[in-house]
Structure 1
Amino acid sequence: MRNKLIYLCNAGYVLDGPNTRTCKDSGEWSGKEPECFRNECPMPPPLQNGRYYVWNYSRGINIIYTCNEGYELIGRDVRFCLGTYEWSGSDPYCQKVKCDNPPPIDNGFFRGNDFFYEDIIEYHCNTGFEIVGQAQRKCLSNGKWGGDDATCIQITCGLPPVKRNVVYDIPGGEKEGSFEVTASLSCEEGYRGIGVSSQRCQANGQWSESNFVCEIVTCPAFPDVRYGRAIGNGFHFGNELEIQCNEGFYLVGKARPRCGPNGDWDYESEPPHCVISGCPDLPKITNGLASETGSGVGSIVTYRCNDGYRLQGPGQRTCEKDGSWSGSDPYCRLILCAVPPFVEHAIPFNALTQYLLNSKARYVCETGYELSAGDSSLTCSASGTWEGFIPTCSLVQCGEPMKVPNSKVSVASYNFKGEAQYLCDLGYRVKGSSIITCEKNGNWLEATPECVPVDCGPPPYVPKSIKIDSKNYTFKSVIQYTCDVGFTLIGQGTTSCQATGVWSGKTPVCEPISCGTPPSIDNAFYIGYYYFYKSTVTYECFTNFELSGNPTLTCSYNGTWTGDRPECHAVTCGPPPVFPHSSTSMPMGAYVNREVTFMCNDGFYLTGSATARCMANKQWQYDEDETACLRRNCYDPPKMQNGGRKFVGTLYESTADYFCDEGYTLSGQSSLVCGISGHWEGKLPTCELVHCGAPPFGNHVVVSGDSFTYQSAVTYMCEKGYEAKCRFVSECTSSGRWSNQPPQCE
C-alpha cells in the first residue's frame, strides 16, 4: 500500500495545490507541494484592561478597540484588515489613567505616592490645624481628583475661661484665641492680680491652666481731720468718705474723697482739712472809693473811681471760704485818648502826645480834595476813645469816558490822576494810546483810540491741497482746504483767523488715502507693506493650497481694495487611481497627505503598494511598486483515475472539464472552477466502468461468464440435446451494449 499525505491548513488559511500526495514507486511524492495562503486576518491578541469589537476577520473589515473605565488607549482605536491579510498599524494597549499632582493644601500635606486611577490620597493638617472638608480624594477615570478641596483651619480655643474681675487680652485684637496664641491676663480697675498672668491656646483646643486671680484694692486708713471728721465705713476700691468741718470752720480740699484703683485716696496734693472762716482788711484805692459789707465769709467790697479816672481791675471782691478775697487789687487810671486817627489827604495838625477827656481833633482836606464823609472833628470821651465818625477826603472825579466801537473801557479810578484803559473786543487791536488819565479839572486827557480787526496774514500752505478763500485774512475770515484725488485730509478742513492773530487749529495734512489692512483670504497670506493709494498687495497660498483668480489687489482712491479677491483651494490629486478588479477606500477629499487603500476584488490578489498618498504635485505616490490586482492561480486541476481533464488556463474563473477513458462513464459534475480563494471549487468526479447489464438470452441457450462490465465477454452454448448453428462469444462494449445477440439452438 502506497503512503499518502493529506494536507490541512490552519484556521484562517486556505490550501493552494492538491490536498493529498502519494509516494510513487520512484520514491518521489506525486504532484506539486501545496501552500497555505491566508484568506482572513489573524485573530488579534487580547487587549488587557480593554476589549475589541470585530464581526469577522475578512479583508476590509475594521476592528474597534476600547479600554475599560480608568484606562486610556495608547495607539489607534480602529484598525483595518488589509489586502495582505494583516491588520493595519500596530497593536494598541490600555494604559491606566494618571491624575495630575494633587492640589496642595495650606498648613497641611497629603500622603500617597501613586496618582493613577482609583489611587487614594489622604490630606493631613500640621500641628495646631484641623481639616475641614473631605480628607480623602480618589483619582477618577477622567484624570481628575474626585471630591472637593479640603482646608486646614487653625485650631481655636474660643474665649479663655471667664474668671471674676479678670480681663483677657488676645494679640491682634482677635475675639478668639488660635493655636499657640498666648492671652495676657489682667485685672479690672480697682483689682490687683495674683498668680501666672498668661494662658496659651493648645493643640487640643483648650486653654492652659492658670492660677491667676484678682483681689480688690484696699486703701490705707484716712488721716485724721483737725477741726473736723471723716464719715464712712470702708477702705476698699470705690468706697467714699464724707469730710465735715466743725462750726466756724470751712473745708479746704475734696469733700468726698474716694478710694482709687491704685490703692490711694483721690485727693490732690494734700488731704482735705478745716480752716477758720473770715478775710483780712483790704488796702485803700487811690483816686477812688471802696465800700464793704463786712469781713466775714461772703462779705463784698465795691470799688468806684473819681471823675476823669477809669477803674482797672474787678469792681467787686468777695471773701471766700478759705479766708481770701476773690480777684486781684484794682486801681483808678487817668482817662487819656490816643493820637487821633490818620486821614489821608487831610492837612496835618499839631498833634499832642496825650489827649485828656473832652479834647478835640479837627480835620481839614488838602487842596483838590473835599470832605466827602464823616465829621470834621472828633472828641476824647470818658471811655478813652474818640467819639464821632472819622472823615474822608476824596479826590475830584471825572465823568464817563467816551465810547469806542468794538471795545470796552475799564476805569481804574474816576478820581484825580485816575486812569481808564480801552480794551478792544476779541479779534480787534488798539490803534493809538489805550490809556487816558483823569485831570484835576475833571476831564480825561489824551485822544480817544480806535479798535481795528486783527490781521492773520496768508493762511498756511498745505501740499497736495486746493485752498478756497476770499483773500481777506482778517479776524473771522475762513479758509477751506480740499485734497487732491487719492489723498485724504487729516485734521480740520477749515481754518479761521482767530482773535490771537493766528489761524485756528493745527495745519491739516493731505496724506495718501489708506485702505487699511488688506482683506484676509482663507489659507493665504499677502505680500506688501504699504496700504496707501495705488499701493498693491499680492496674495500667496499656504503650503498644499493653490491660488485661483487675480492674486493682486490695489488700493483705490476711495480707500477700498479693488480687484476680484482670489481664493486658495486645497491641492487635490483628483480621483484616486483605479485598477482593474479592485476597489478603493479613501477618506473624504483627495487632499495632500491623504491616503487611499487599495483592495482587490474576490478572486484577485494585490501586488505592489497597498496604499497611495496624495502629494503636493497632485500626483499619487505609491509606497512600493505600482499596484495591480492579479487573478489568483489555482494551478493544475486535480487528476482523475481512468479519465482525463481539459482546461485552457488555471487562473480565477477558469474551468477544467473532466472526461473518462473509453469504457468508463463520468459520475458527478463534469467540471471544476478556479474560485476566489485560488482553489478549484467543486467535487472531483469519478470514472466508473461501463456496465452492460445481463447479456440477452435465447431459447435453450446457456451463458458462460459472470462479469458484465466493459471488455468482459460471455460465451453462448446450447443446452444438451440442442445444437447451435455456431458457437460464439459476445463482448461488453464501451457503449454499454453487448456486441452480439445470443445464438439460436435447435
Structure 2
Amino acid sequence: MEKSPHSVAKINNRRHSCLLRFPVEFKGEVTSILFSLHCIPMYAVTYSCIVIILHGFGAISFGTVLLITFKTSEAHQVRWLDSITANPLKRLCKAGSSSVLQRLQPLNKILLRSKLQNYDSSWNIDILPSTYPPANLAITRTQKRPGDVIFVFHGGCEFFEAPENGNVIYDPVNRTVGSTATFSCSSGYVLSGNASLECLETKEWNATNDVSCVAECNRDETQVTVLRRTCMKTCVTAGDCLRGRPCVCDGVCGLSCIPTARVNYCDVTLVQVDNTVVTLDPATLVFGTVATISCSPGHLPIGGTREIQRSCLGNGDWSDGSLTCIPSDACRNPPEIENASHDVKLYYANGESLRYSCNSGYASGSNSYLRCVDGNWSEANIRCIAVQCSPPDATENGRKDGSGTDYNDRVSFSCDQGFSLHGESVLICQGDGTWSADVPECTDTCRNPPEIENASHDVKQSYANGERLHYSCNLGYVLGSNSYMQCVDGSWLEQVINCRAVQCTALDTPVNGSKDGSGTGYNDRVEFSCDQGFSLHGESVLTCQSDETWSADAPKCTAKSCGYPGDINNGGIIEGVYTYPNSVTYVCDEGFTLNGQTTRTCQTTQDWSGIAPSCNPVQCPALFTPVNGRKDGSGTGYNNRVEFSCDQGFSLLGESVLTCQSDGTWSSHVPECTGYCQKPREDVMWVFNDSCQGISVQPNKCGLSYLCDDGYFPINQKVIWSCSKGIWQKNAEPICST
C-alpha cells in the first residue's frame, strides 16, 4: 500500500495560526481521528473563519459523510457541524456564507464565535464514519515558535482492507502495538500468504501483506501421473516455502512454492513450431505466462481450432496443447483407389505428385499418379486389375486337383501308386502372375534325401529304387545307430540315424598339481600344472579328439630332485631321499667333530640349502707335567697317548697312561707324584688314618692325631698332622699335661 501525504488541518486568524499534520496512512473508510489543538496566542483573538485542508484521503470517494465536532474548553460553547463532503478543500465560515454548510440545529449568528481566554484552550475534531469505532490516536506536541504549534499524530499499524472473497479481523481493533490482523477466506477459497500479522513497536506489521483468497487448489496425484507432471514443493501458505517464494496454485499440482518473479522461466522455443506465430503475455516468460499460438499468414490450422493457449507451469514446462498449420494451397486426404495404396502424409504441397501402388494380385491398368493443384487433387484415372496365372500342366504318372488361375488360387498335385512326388504338392497363383513353384514330377526314383543333424552324405540328382545312401557324422560327432537310408518305390525308407556329440572321459587332477578346464566335448582342452617343487611329466595340454580319446595320457607331477649332495672328508650322509622337500643329515667319523649345519634341504630350485659341513679331528686339552714327575708325549689329537712317571722318592698316584678320546676328553685325570714323611715324635701316642702305610715312612695324605699316656691329658686336642709331598704339615704341637 502506498503511503498517503500528510493530512493537514490548518486554522487561520488575523494574527496567528495553529497547524496540525496527520502523518497517518489512510485507505478505505477512515477511523476516528482525535486530537487537541493547543494554541499559545500573544493575546486573545476571535476566530471568524476556520479552514480545514484534508490531504491523503484519495481513497475516500466523493460524497463520503464525515462527522466533525468542534468544542472549546468551555462546555457551553460546543458547536456541531455535519454533512461535509470529502473534497480536498472546504471552508467553514460564517453561518450562511457558504452553500455547503448545514447545521443540525439552529444557531444564532456565526458558526463558531469564541475567544481563547487562556493559553491552554483545546479543540477536538472527530472524524467518525458510521460503521467504524474511534481509532484513539496518540498525540505528540512540538512547539516551533509562538503562535505556531505542530501536532504529529502517531497512529497504530497500517489499515488493510479485507482480501477479495475473504475477511480480516483486528484484535484489538485500534491496531496498536501488539495487535494482530487475522485473515480468513470464504467457503470454497483458500488463503495464500501470511494468515496472521502482528503490529510491532515500530508501528509496522511484522511481515508484508501478501494475502489473497484463491479458489481451492488441491494436488491431483492421478492427473499428475497421467500428465507426467513434475511438481514443485507443496505448500499451504508462503511460510511453507524457502527463499521467499510465494505459495501459488499450479494446476493439477495444487498449491506449490513457485519462483513467480523469475524471468525466462519457461523455454519459448518449446512452443514455437513451424508455420505458427507465438504471442507471450507477459513477455518476460514468468510463471503463468500465457503463450497464444496461431497460424502464420498463408497457413491454415488442421482441425478447425485457429489458435491455442499454453501456460508456463511451475516446473518450467508448458501446459499441453498443439496446433498444426499447413500452407493454405496444400492438399490433404487424397482419394482412395480400389485395390491400391499410397504413402500417407499430413499434407501434400502444391504441385506435389502422389503415386499409387496396386495391391498384391493386382496390376496397374492406367495412370498411377495424382497431383496437388492449388489445394485440390487432379482427376483420378487410376485402375488396378486382378492378375491371372497361366494354367499349370498335368504331371506324368500323377493327378492335378484344381483349375483356378486367379490371384491366390491353389492347385494340388499327387502321384500314382509306386511313384513319388518330387517338388511342391501345392502351387499358388502369386501377385505377379506366376505360380509359387514349378510343376512337380512323379517318379519311382528318390530325390532330396532327408537331412540328418550333424551328418552329411553324397549328393546326387536322384537315387535309384533300392539304392542305399550312407551318412557320415560331422567332425566332433559319432554315429549312434544305423548309418544309411534306402530308396523304396520313390520314397526314402524311414531309418533312425543319430550323430551324437563326442564325449571323452573326465580327467583327474594330478597329485601335487592342478587342472584348468573340465570340458569333455570335442576339441575341449584341459591344461595341467604342478605345485611348486614338482615337475610335470607328460603333456601339459590334452585335447578331446573325434574318436573320444584324449590326445595323450594324463600327466603326473613328480618331486624335483636336487641330486646327491656330495661326500665330505672324514664323514658322510645318512641314507635319505634327494627330492623336494626332503632333507639329508651329515655325520662325522669317530674322532672327528661336525663344523656347520647338520642337515640340508632340497629346495624348489633343485638346490640344496646352505653349504656342506666339514669334519675336523677331535682335540683334547693339553696336559701338564705333575710336580716331582715327568710326562712323555705331547700330542692332543684323537688316540694320542701321554705317559707319566715320578722322580725318585715319589710314587705315582693315578693312571700312568692317558689317551685322547673321541669326545675330546682324556681317558683319566693327570696323576700325582707323592713323597713319604719321617716317623713323627715318639713321646706321644699317634693315631694314623687309613692313608698311612706304616709307622716308619708315611706317604702323602697320611694324617695323624695324638693321645696322651695314662695320667696325662692333651692340652691341644685338635692337633692334626698331615703328610704332604714328604713334609708333615702341622697345625700345632702335641702337649700332654697332668
For normalisation by structure 1, the TM-score amounts to 0.26
For normalisation by structure 2, the TM-score amounts to 0.26
